[in-house]
Amino acid sequence: MNKEFFQYQYRYDYFSSRIPALEHHVKALRARPGVKILEVGSFEGLSAIWFLTKVLTGAGASLTCIDPWEPYVELLDHEWDVMKHHAEAHFDYNTRLACSESGALLKKYKGRSEAVLPLLSPETYDLIYIDGSHLAKDVLTDLVFAWRLLKTDGLMICDDYQHTRHLDPLWTPKMPIDHFLACFQHHYQLLQKNWLVILKKVDGEAYFQKSPPVQVDNSPLF
């Protein structure tokens, strides 16, 4: 059991390997008053524990978590059983304990992210952590919907960029993340791109204030 989480309840640890990179990038948010973090995909709550106890310790800080806590087709081995019977209960226990330590407010939304994200207020969050479905269309939807919720200078962290469990690229996050990066050029600063893709949101509108070059068509009209 990872020493970071020894007092908590969980069956799987898919998060502790991310901590060194996260510690480097989120240090400016640590213990800052009023910090708001949004998490898409919470499972048993290990990432929520870490954000609550290591980052969200300033006055008025809050964590918003979105997860349907229902089994889905990409789960393997015993993951299905854990999601069906244990994950939400573990999340509730873990976050209750972590909130008692940090003093942060937890907002829990049980539902699919594509239904919940459009209901949240734009430009609200200092950090958004995307670790939900690995299905390409779901990942792209989460990225686009979540981006409008992120403050300028806020961080978007996308997990599992190098995820290779499934051979079909439509079942992995890499392709939708790459397409998002291509379409949102000039609106972000790329801070890291390996297992985690970490972006800082910047104001890119100045790039689009002048008309781009166009292809001159000299072909005859008739």
Q: Where are the alpha helices (DSSP H) in 154-205?
A: 174-183
How far apart are alpha carbons 57 and 160 in whole angstroms? 27
Residue 100: count of CB within 10 angstroms of its CB: 11
Copy the structure tokens of residue 151. Answer: 């403050």
Per-residue pLDDT, 3: 76
Residue pair 88/69 in contact by the 8 Å Cβ criterion: yes
pLDDT at 46: 97
Is residue 220 in some structural domain?
Answer: no
Residue 221, pLDDT score = 63
Range(s) of the domain holding residue 47: 18-205
Residue type, 62: S
Residue 5 lies in a domain: no
pLDDT of residue 222: 63
Question: Token pair of 87, please?
Answer: 């994950």
What is the residue-wise DSSP string for 147-162?
HTTEEEEEEEEE--TT
Within a domain: residue 1?
no
Measure the CA–CA gap between 169 and 175, rounded to whole angstroms. Answer: 7
Beta-carbon-side half-sphere exposure of residue 41 (alpha carbons within 13 Å): 21
d(CA 203, CA 40): 24
pLDDT recorded at residue 205: 87
| Bridge partners, residue 188, by sequence | 201
Q: What is the dihedral of CA 145, 150, 156, 158, to 10 degrees?
A: -20
Query: What is the number of structural domains in the chain?
Result: 1
In a domain, residue 6? The reply is no
Within a domain: residue 76?
A: yes
78 lies in a domain?
A: yes
Measured CA distances, 79 to 31, 65, 72, 144 (Å): 34, 20, 10, 28
Side by side, the strands of the sheet bearing 150-158 are 105-110, 62-67, 36-40, 125-130, 150-158, 197-201, 188-193
Q: pLDDT tens, position by position, for the chain (222 residues)?
A: 587 899 999 999 999 999 999 999 999 999 999 999 999 999 999 999 999 999 999 999 999 999 999 988 888 778 889 999 999 999 999 999 999 999 999 999 999 999 999 999 999 999 999 999 999 999 999 999 999 999 999 999 999 999 888 778 898 999 999 999 999 999 999 999 999 999 999 999 888 888 888 887 777 766
Q: Would you say residue 163 lies in a domain?
A: yes
Q: What is the pTM of this model?
A: 0.93
93 torsion bin: left (phi>0), alpha (psi -120 to 50), beta (else): alpha
Q: Quote the pLDDT of residue 1.
A: 58
CATH number (domain holding residue 124): 3.40.50.150
Alpha carbon of 74 to those of 63, 65, 68, 92, 118: distances in Å?
A: 27, 21, 14, 23, 25
